[in-house]
Amino acid sequence: MAKKLTITEARNRLSGLPKELKRNQVAKITRRGEPVLAIMRWDDYCGLLETLEFMSDEEALKQVRQGIADIEAGRVIPWEEARKRLGL
């Protein structure tokens, strides 16, 4: 859920916004009623960048899709068996 602030409100509250914003919450900054900026917690921003990077990696997505298909088809082994095979 976005917290809506005018530019003036954001400027006046900027130093307190890191404490105000909850995880996955964005502050939508408006000018004359139109959105112009978004402010979010740094860890949320980094997570978003990682997600975008992953989603642009076709090979990684192919592997995830294959893994999901394997699970759905029952082509899995128990964790203990995997550990044993890997010598862990």
Distances (CA, A) of 38 to 8, 32, 35, 61, 88: 14, 15, 8, 28, 46
- 63 and 86: one domain? yes
Mean pLDDT of the region 13-40: 93
CATH of the domain at 38: 3.40.1620
Q: Which domain holds residue 15?
A: 2-43
Mean pLDDT of the region 67-88: 94
pLDDT greater than 80 at residue 1? no
pTM of model > 0.85: no
Domains in the chain, number: 2
Whether 51 is covered by a domain: the verdict is: no
Whether 50 is covered by a domain: the verdict is: no
Whether 10 is covered by a domain: the verdict is: yes
- Specify the pLDDT at position 2: 83
- 29 and 6: one domain? yes
Distances (CA, A) of 32 to 9, 12, 16, 69, 75: 12, 17, 23, 49, 57
The continuous run of DSSP H or E covering 2 comes out as strand 2-6
Whether 81 is covered by a domain: the verdict is: yes
Mean pLDDT of the region 2-19: 92
